[in-house]
Chain A
Amino acid sequence: QQQVKQSPQSLIVQKGGISIINCAYENTAFDYFPWYQQFPGKGPALLIAIRPDVSEKKEGRFTISFNKSAKQFSLHIMDSQPGDSATYFCAASYRDDKIIFGKGTRLHILP
C-alpha cells in the first residue's frame, strides 16, 4: 500500500516530442504528489508538485495530470529538449509521513 509504481523504466523521445511518465499508487491517504528531476552527479530537484484537489497543474512545458479515481498521475513534458534528458522520480506522501518515491524513469531526448 505504501508503494508508488512508476513506468516506464526508460524512455527515448525525439526532440520536440511529448514525453509521458506514469505513476500509480494504492494508498488513498496520499495527499501530496511531487515530481523530481535528477541529472547525473546531482541530487534530485523538485520539478513540479500537485495535490489531489486539482486534476492538472502546468508549469511551462511540464504538466502533471492527476486522476484521483484511478489513483494515477502522470508527468507530460511538451516540446521535449535534449536538456530534459535526466532521471525523473514521482513521489507521494501524506500528513507528516515520509515521502515514497517511484523507482525512476531514465529519459533520453534524441537531438
Chain B
Amino acid sequence: KAGVTQTPRYLIKTRGQQVTLSCSPISGHRSVSWYQQTPGQGLQFLFEYFSETQRNKGNFPGRFSGRQFSNSRSEMNVSTLELGDSALYLCASSSELRETQYFGPGTRLLVL
C-alpha cells in the first residue's frame, strides 16, 4: 500500500496570505489527524477527522481549519498567515480512531 502523501512538500507564503495543504491517507484509512511541528513546541495536535466529521480539535485559533472528503482525503487551511505559523505540518492516518497512526512526510511552510 502507498503511504500517506502530503502536498505540497514545501511552501513559502507572506504574512496575511492563506494556504491550503492536502493529505491523502493510506487506502482504507478513515481517520486523518493534523499536527504542527516546531522546534520549540514539538508536535501539537490540530484536529482529527473521521468519516468526514471532525472528532477532536486542538487549541489553535480559528484561522486553522480543516475538512475531510468522502474519499478520506483531507485538507487544512490557514488564513491570515502569521510569521509564527512557519512550521512542519504533518498529517497522519489510521484505520480507526485511536489505532496506530501513520504519518506523512509533512509540508514545510515558511511564512515571510
Binding site for B on A (CB under 8 A): 32, 34, 36, 41-46, 49, 89, 93, 95-104
- B105 adjacent to A42 (CB under 8 Å): yes
A101 vs B58: C-alpha distance when bound (angstroms): 12
A-B contacts counted at CB < 8 A amount to 49
Asked if B56 and A101 sit within 8 Å, CB to CB, the answer is no
Identify the 6 closest CB pairs spanning chains A and B, nearest first.
Answer: A43-B103, A103-B42, A101-B43, A98-B56, A98-B45, A44-B103
**Do residues A45 and B42 form an inter-chain contact, with CB atoms below 8 A?**
no
Q: Are B56 and A97 in contact (CB under 8 A)?
A: yes
In contact, A93 and B98 (Cβ under 8 angstroms): yes
Label chain A's interface by main secondary structure: loop
Q: Residue A43 contacts which of B45, B56, B92, B97 (CB distance < 8 angstroms)?
A: B92
B33 at the interface (CB under 8 A from A): yes
Which B residues touch A45, using CB under 8 A? 102-103
The reply on B100 being an interface residue by CB < 8 A is yes
Chain A to chain B contacts (Cβ below 8 Å), 24 pairs: A34-B100, A36-B103, A42-B105, A43-B4, A43-B90, A43-B103, A44-B43, A44-B103, A46-B100, A49-B100, A89-B43, A93-B98, A96-B55, A96-B56, A97-B56, A98-B33, A98-B45, A98-B48, A98-B56, A100-B45, A101-B35, A101-B43, A101-B44, A103-B42
B101 interface hit (Cβ, 8 Å): yes
Inter-chain contact B90/A44, CB cutoff 8 Å: yes
Could you say which of B48, B56, B92, B105 contacts A41, with CB atoms under 8 Å apart? B105
Q: For B100, give the chain A residue with the smallest CB separation.
A: A46
Task: Check if A96 sits within 8 Å of B100, measured CB to CB.
Answer: no
Tell me, rounded to whole Å, the shortest Cβ–Cβ distance linking B4 to chain A: 7
Please measure, in the bound complex, the distance between the C-alpha atom of A99 and the C-alpha atom of B42, giving whole angstroms.
Answer: 13
Is residue B106 contacting chain A, with contact meaning CB distance below 8 A?
yes
- Whether A99 contacts B105 by the Cβ 8 Å rule is no
In the complex the two chains form, is A89's CB within 8 Å of B42's CB?
yes
Least CB separation from A34: chain B residue: B100
Q: How far is the CB of A36 from chain B (nearest CB, A)?
A: 8
CB pair A46–B101 under 8 Å, yes or no, is yes
Docked complex Cα distance between A42 and B102 (Å): 11
